[in-house]
Chains A and B, each alone.
Chain A
Amino acid sequence: MSDIAIRIENLKHFFGQVKAVDGLSLSVPAGMIFGFLGPNGAGKTTTINILLGLLEPTEGGAEILGFDIRTQADEIRSRTGALLEHTGLYEQMSAEENLEFYGRVWRMPAPERDARIKELLSLMGLWERRSDSAGKWSQGMKQKLALARALMHRPLLLFLDEPTAGLDVAAATAIRNDLANLARNEGVTIFMTTHNMAEVEKLCSQVAVIRQGKLIAVDSPDELRKKTGSPQIEVIGKGFTEDVLTLLEKHTEVSGTELDNNHLIIYLQEDTDTAPLVNLMVSEGVQIEEVRKGKASLEQVFLTLMEEEE
């Protein structure tokens, strides 16, 4: 198999006058978790549908695992798994029957299918409730079952459309851990969309950001932070008066401040020495409890990218 799992070339898809995907080009190396980010309506789901051969591109093309999306979509679907916008579970059927159906779809022999069902349901902590109708389960359990279904045939590439959307913290964490294990232990390439930046930070080796169907950035989260977000210090304490903020902002190495109760973020130029700033605040009577130096969060990077595009 090629080192590149997904290669997209100038992909376009228009719904009438609306450009859902507009000249998208990117490559996703095999074996990594790739985050595909963008605001609602950016074209993320449409892109996944095109890559799975569920929608014809208006222009351009793509290769998935070396297969052309226009002419070899069946081959692509045979080798990939998908957890789309909805779980896609048959709620009147039991968890076991849902997996059995997709095991049959992928023509797994009965003994292998049964073993895989047990393995996956046990891995997801659902084995004890395998005979329950999926419709009776919580959203988190359904999402896990849907993930198990997507993994049933040991796909080389997994498309996940907001896999943790609507889940509580515990369920979302469990799914994230499962995904991290999959990529690490089984070498599965994961192409996922999400709005959760903490999830991206934790899981993704690379991210692409799209807006109105156009690619606006692609890199590792660290590189994106370096390129887009400025260094910053977070100061937790008391006594952040207007005068203190004005003094700080007059400092040539400070590009801005943001105060939220007792939490002050000071945006800095590159290679700024922070000690004089801390001294300045102390001399102005600020009671500092904690100072943290760091890069901008991915959320800030994302917002900056969106603003730049506007």
Chain B
Amino acid sequence: MIADILTVMWKERKGLLKQRGSRVRALWVLLIPAIMLGILLPWQEGHGWIEGYWSLIGSILIPILLVSTFIPESFAGERERHTLGTLLASRLPDRAILFGKILIAVIYAWGVSLCVLLLELITVNITGWDGRIVFFPADVLLIDIVLGLLLACFMAGIGVMISLRASTVQGATMTLMATTFLPLIILQVVGMVLLQKGSGGRERIMEFITTVDWMQVIMIIMLVMVVASVGAIWAAMVRFQRGRLLFS
């Protein structure tokens, strides 16, 4: 099984950066968030970017963005390009195909988010050099690393489910992006409405933001993410079966 997973990963790795045409274009998908979140914003914010929770932005956004690109390419793309039938007619087990594809997307997305963390560190230390090396607080670093991985796994599971139902890569990507960002947008809108309404709403929100134990909140979120990731990948396993794939 492991050899088969590695075989699928070998193929995905070959194709991943070339799927949408040129290597240059594929590189931009990686470079734009890396430059924005690894260089420009940390440069602007200085030490605060490293010492606060700002680095979480990269650890959240990068796995979401990259997995939302890779998984539809990998699953819906295989169907759109008519390579799925031949792949399924081979001796590869369903699970090896599924996990090979998921793993490569998760490793790439998580890997890039870790690289961006390193880039943030280098940028802040160079641009804000004051004679000492600044480093992420241990708890922030741990959250960055674990949350990035969990988000990549969760997005991969959801992405597989959506991609298996979509007829095109574009359709799958759009649905996945909407599914991911819509709750965040709604949450933001609700917050803004409450802030505008007055009648103590604004005060209560500000009080919550300033007094809440963010570490506890993040731990709860991560726990939820663990459960959600396992659930999403389990659902993908149930759905990803030869008999259901070709004519679904």
Contacts and interface: CB of A to CB of B under 8 A. Distances in A.
Contacts of A159: 89
Interface in A55-88: 55-56, 73-74, 77-78, 80, 82-88
Interface stretch (B38-46, B155-163, B239-247): B239-247
B89 A52 contact: yes
A275 interface: no
Interface stretch (B11-19, B173-181, B217-225): B11-19
A80 B89 CA distance: 9
Nearest to A77: B91
Chain A: number of interface residues, binned into ranges: 20 to 34
Instruction: Count chain B CB atoms within 10 A of each CB in A80, A87, A102, A159 and give the residue with the most.
Output: A102
A88 B15 contact: no
A107 B89 contact: no
Contacts of B216: none
Interface string A75-107: 001101011111111111100010001101111
Interface residues of B, number: 25
A92 B19 contact: yes
A93 B242 contact: no
Contact of A88 (B7, B85, B247): B85
A49 interface: yes
Given A54-B89, A88-B86, A93 B243 contact: no
Interface in B81-100: 81-83, 85-93
B10 interface: yes
A56 B86 contact: no
Contact of B90 (A15, A77, A85): A77
Contacts, number: 77
Instruction: Count chain A CB atoms within 10 A of each CB in B15, B242, B243 and give the residue with the most.
Output: B242
Given A54-B243, A90-B15, A105 B85 contact: no
Contacts of B246: 49, 54-55
Given A101-B10, A104-B10, A88 B82 contact: yes
Contact of B243 (A56, A102, A146, A149): A56
B83 A77 contact: no
Interface of A: 15, 49, 52-56, 73-74, 77-78, 80, 82-93, 97, 101-102, 104-107, 146, 149, 159
Given A77-B91, A105-B91, A107-B3, 17 more contacts: A15-B247, A52-B89, A55-B243, A56-B243, A77-B90, A86-B82, A87-B82, A89-B83, A90-B15, A92-B18, A93-B14, A93-B15, A97-B14, A104-B7, A105-B90, A105-B92, A106-B91
